[in-house]
Amino acid sequence: MMAVLIVLVTVLVQVIVVNRLGLPGGAAPDLVLLAVVGVAMARGPVAGTVIGFCAGLLVDVVPPTAHLLGQYAFVLALVGYLAGRGVGSPVTTVIVCVLIAPLLAAGLGGLISDPRVTVATLTEQIPLTIVYTLIASPVVMWLNGRGGQLRYAA
């Protein structure tokens, strides 16, 4: 229940506030990805996969959207599984997930010949998004750690 709420709120915050900030370079951190990673790391691979899939469907549906349904469901389900399983230490897990997600999304876009995925996307937009997301990740992980401790205490 808590996970659903976290993901829902993050998606809305992402489109209402974060994407409209107009950060230098025109990219924005992907908080939804970090939320999925955080929740999955706390809950394990099974819950992580399911939550990632649902979060992805949500991302595909919440307006404004102009891409196909299922694209982010695929990406975030895989990311949720990876984060739930863990790749080495928590830090490397987060870094691997943050690196993989946009590349996977771009790869999937390329497969269905999405005109928005071009070389410029790979060389300009994605690296910037990754950098912003990595910068934002300690905050989200810290919040997640606190949430985890509270849960264990209860």
Site for other proteins in 90-119 (CB under 8 A): 101, 105-106, 108-109, 112, 114-118
If you write DSSP's letter for every residue of 54-93 in order, what string do you get? HHHHHHHHSSS--S-TTHHHHHHHHHHHHHHH--SSHHHH
The owner of tokens 């549906």 is 61
* Residue with smaller CB distance to other proteins, 54 or 141: 54
Dihedral (CA of 91, 93, 99, 101) sign:
negative
Count the residues of the shown chain that bind other proteins, applying the rule CB under 8 A: 63
Q: Are 39 and 48 in contact (CB under 8 A)?
A: yes
* Residue with smaller CB distance to other proteins, 94 or 105: 105
Query: Where does this chain bind other proteins (CB under 8 A)?
Result: 12, 14-30, 32-33, 44-46, 49-50, 53, 56, 59, 61-74, 77-78, 81, 84-85, 101, 105-106, 108-109, 112, 114-118, 120-121, 124-125, 129
